[in-house]
Amino acid sequence: MNKDVNSQIEILENILNLNENIEKVLKVSQLEFDHYYVGAGSLVQTVWNYLSGYPISYGISDIDIIYFDDKDLTKEKEEMIELKLASSLSDLPLEIDVKNEARVHLWYKKKFGKDINPYQSLEDAINSWPTTATALGVRRETNGEFKVYAPYGLNDLFSMTVRANKQLISRDIYEEKATKWLNLWPKLTVIPWENE
């Protein structure tokens, strides 16, 4: 579906509007943050479900909400916001995962074994997400406008192509993710690590 980017954004918005869970998360997040994104998996998997003819929420277990606050890097503040949003969204059958991208560098090495520099913005964080299709964030502005940040475009998303973004991800983690996703969405095309 290599349409022009404006057409792709309109199609993306129309597909995501079919997933009531995402729509509700966007509304609640908009009340909490001036600048945020709902990101990655839940968005991409909603599109894959639509393109595969699956129920729109198939395979989606959580929703990621990201914000950026470099003035308060405490885990406690992040957890407080996550609890607040999870409480507001308690009727959803999903785990709500909230991350302050300004503090990722504080825990990244312990979890993934690699030091990273502090992110400078939400967009800087999304640039490093593990695949080109999942490096995606959307939000609603206060005027209702649908905003998309997709540093690698939307062609891989709509063609159901899984391609490594090697900025941070390791081969093992990429291949593990790709295998898991292929089991759920067999129409995916996975680009082998060595081909990138």
Mean pLDDT, residues 37-53 taken together: 96
Distances (CA, A) of 173 to 65, 165, 176, 179, 184: 22, 12, 5, 10, 17
Beta strands in the chain (DSSP E): 36-39, 62-67, 95-100, 137-140, 146-149, 161-162, 189-190
Which pLDDT belongs to residue 175?
A: 94
Mean pLDDT of the chain, nearest integer: 93
Mean pLDDT, residues 170-181 taken together: 93
190: pLDDT strictly greater than 80: yes
Q: What is the pLDDT of residues 71-90, one digit of tens each?
A: 999 999 999 999 999 999 99
Which pLDDT belongs to residue 161?
A: 97
Q: What is the pLDDT of residues 118-160, one digit of tens each?
A: 999 999 999 999 999 999 999 998 888 899 999 999 999 999 9
CATH code reported for the domain at 5-195: 3.30.460.10
| pTM as predicted | 0.93
2 pLDDT band (50/70/90 cuts)? low
Task: Give the pairing of strands 161-162 and 189-190.
Answer: parallel
CA–CA dist 108, 44 (Å, integer): 23
**Top-confidence range, 3-7, 33-37, 113-117, 120-124:** 120-124
196: pLDDT strictly greater than 80: no
20 Cβ contact list (under 8 Å, min separation 6): none
Domain boundaries, the chain: 5-195
Mean pLDDT, residues 39-52 taken together: 96
Mean pLDDT, residues 188-195 taken together: 92
